[in-house]
């Protein structure tokens, strides 16, 4: 039989797994318990944005109420949760429980439980498709922000562990080989895919291939560097390849906030600022 510590480790491991796949997670933890209550300190319940659940805070009416609150927190705006910083709530498990300082539950347990609840957002995890000057500068910004990132390029000189020592993955291969190994689920490990190749044909092949795999999925977000004219060409190629117009319209091009960026370093700031604004639902 698993002890409380083992259960907590299992819940937290599950949370990390969900975050790694790009899901938001709401987690409730019992931090204090008095009297006869089903949930003891350290008990945890986690719910992901896909609706999956793991763990327990004791079951019955307490778990039903807490589960509903976690779902409400997940459904609310990211920025609202961040400003509030979660919550701590006291539940009185008594049939006649009253009082403004507690949430009364129709229960015969006769105890009192204090529960903390918070939403954890996954950190950005970017596939930088192009290891040139701009890709290198974006990787440096990601390092400073402690964001995860991987590198893809068809050129070995621009896609190696020495050039990108902190990259989670360094993928150097033809576009078709990369696409062959990916599917909708595997691509969700990335929050964003940024098309930054030295060759517009590489970007175009990646774009059409990625959209063919991910379709209308909200994750990963896809963006491309370049002009509106370049995007018009990409859009025509996508439509000829059978990609729906609404799917093409989900792609950001040109990427980056309009801050008048010129140098690779300035472009990197603009691009990462845009990613952050999208992550936090800020216009």
Question: Where in the chain are the domains?
Answer: 4-120, 125-279
- Label residue 39 by pLDDT band (50, 70, 90): confident
Spatial distance between the Cα atoms of 250 and 237, rounded to a whole number of angstroms: 15
Q: Give the pLDDT of residue 101.
A: 45
Q: What is the mean pLDDT of residues 33-59?
A: 87
Residue spans of alpha helices (H) in the chain: 4-20, 60-75, 78-84, 133-145, 175-180, 184-187, 200-214, 228-240, 245-248, 264-279
- Label residue 217 by pLDDT band (50, 70, 90): confident
CATH classification of 125-279, choosing from 3.40.50.720, 3.90.1150.10, 3.30.1050.10, 3.30.450.40?
Answer: 3.40.50.720
Q: Report the predicted TM-score, pTM, of the whole model to 2 decimal places.
A: 0.82
- Label residue 34 by pLDDT band (50, 70, 90): confident
Torsion of CA 235, 237, 243, 245, to 10 degrees: 30
Smallest Cα–Cα separation from 280: which of 143, 142, 121? 121
Q: Kindly tell me if the per-residue pLDDT of 4 is higher than 80.
A: no
CB 28 within 8 A of CB 121: no
CB 121 within 8 A of CB 24: yes
Q: How many CB atoms lie within 10 A of CB 209?
A: 17
- Label residue 129 by pLDDT band (50, 70, 90): very high
């Amino acid at each position: 039989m698993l002890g409380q510590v083992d259960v907590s480790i299992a819940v937290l491991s599950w949370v990390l797994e969900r975050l790694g796949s790009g899901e938001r997670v709401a987690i409730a933890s019992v931090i204090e318990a008095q009297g006869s209550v089903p949930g003891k300190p350290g008990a945890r319940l986690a719910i992901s944005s896909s609706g999956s659940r793991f763990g327990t805070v004791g079951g019955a009416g307490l778990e039903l109420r807490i589960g509903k609150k976690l779902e409400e927190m997940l459904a609310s705006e990211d920025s609202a949760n961040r400003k509030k910083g979660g919550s701590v709530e006291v539940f009185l498990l008594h049939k006649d429980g009253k009082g403004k300082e507690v949430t009364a539950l129709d229960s015969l347990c006769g105890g009192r439980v204090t529960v903390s609840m918070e939403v954890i957002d996954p950190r950005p995890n970017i596939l930088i498709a192009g290891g040139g000057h701009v890709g290198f500068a974006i990787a440096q910004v990601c390092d400073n922000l402690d964001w995860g990132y991987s590198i893809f390029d068809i050129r070995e000189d621009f896609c190696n562990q020495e050039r990108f020592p902190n990259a989670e993955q360094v993928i150097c291969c033809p576009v078709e080989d990369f696409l062959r190994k990916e599917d909708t689920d595997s691509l969700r490990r990335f929050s964003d895919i940024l098309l930054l190749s030295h060759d517009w044909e590489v970007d175009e092949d990646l774009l059409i291939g990625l959209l063919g795999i991910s379709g209308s999925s909200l994750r990963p977000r896809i963006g491309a560097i370049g002009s509106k004219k370049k995007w018009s060409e990409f859009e025509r190629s996508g439509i000829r390849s059978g990609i729906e117009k609404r799917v093409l319209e989900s792609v950001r091009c040109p990427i980056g906030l309009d801050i008048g960026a010129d140098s690779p370093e300035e472009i990197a700031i603009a691009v990462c600022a845009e990613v952050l604004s999208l992550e936090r639902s800020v216009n």
